[in-house]
Amino acid sequence: MNASTMQTVDSAASTATATTDAGEPGDSADQPPSSADSADSDIPPEPTAADNLQIDVADDRALTGAPHVNTGRIAELLRAAAACINQPIHRVSVRLIDELQMKSLHNQTIGDPVVTDVLSFDATEPGSDQPVEADIAICVDIAAAQSALRGHDIEHELLLYALHGLLHCCGYDDHNDTDYQIMHDEEDRILAAIGVGPTFARHGDRIDGD
């Protein structure tokens, strides 16, 4: 288990749509598809690591309500982020909890009753070479406060905490200056790759979770 706090900076992800010119008469664009083309279109694509990845994000707050959290959006972004990690990952389970719940969980697992932002638990069988399985708990109250302070969506703040916890389960650590920089550089690389944008390089704030 590991801990840290960091704020994300929103940079909206743009979606590009590919278009083609109509072409001159006689171009391939004007020809009907061949039977071979039709047959190929019926062949399903090969499954990818992302297709086999199990992502579960659930709002388990005892006192639900404000702030509203789009768990589907977080799961979508986390799936994309996990696919960018150079390590096989089988399952990531994220539970969103409130401040009181986090204090209780932190005390039960670490013996520290102080609220923290994220707790991560590596559920992979010890000593095995199986893909990573991660259980992650995130405090929505902290994410809401930090996202408001930074001026970005709470979903991006929660994504950052989830990614941070997942990287811990993948073997990353931040308990010394060198490992800290390596871990947060990797977070920035992944968040940039999925269109959210780097965060640590902009703010450099610590994440306080385990």
- pLDDT for 66 equals 79
Does the predicted TM-score (pTM) go above 0.75? no
pLDDT confidence of residue 33:
45
- pLDDT at 128 (0 to 100): 79
Give the distance, in angstroms, between the CA of residue 135 and the centroid of all CA atoms in the same chain: 13
Distance CA 54, CA 52 (A): 6
**pLDDT score, position 120:** 97
> Which residues neighbour 134 within 8 Å (Cβ) at sequence distance 6 or greater?
89, 91, 92, 93, 120, 121, 122, 123, 124, 165, 166, 169
Bridge partners of residue 132, in order along the sequence: 89
**Structural domains of the chain sorted by starting position, each given as residue range(s) with its CATH number in brackets:** 48-203 (3.40.390.30)
Residue positions counted in the chain: 210
CA angle 133, 136, 137 (to 5 degrees): 160
Write out the chain's pLDDT in tens, 210 residues: 444 333 322 222 222 223 223 333 334 344 444 444 444 445 544 434 456 899 999 999 998 777 899 999 999 999 999 999 999 999 999 999 999 999 999 999 999 999 999 999 999 888 778 999 999 999 999 999 998 888 888 999 999 999 999 999 999 999 999 999 999 999 999 999 999 987 655 554 555 556
Helix, strand, or coil (residue 210): coil
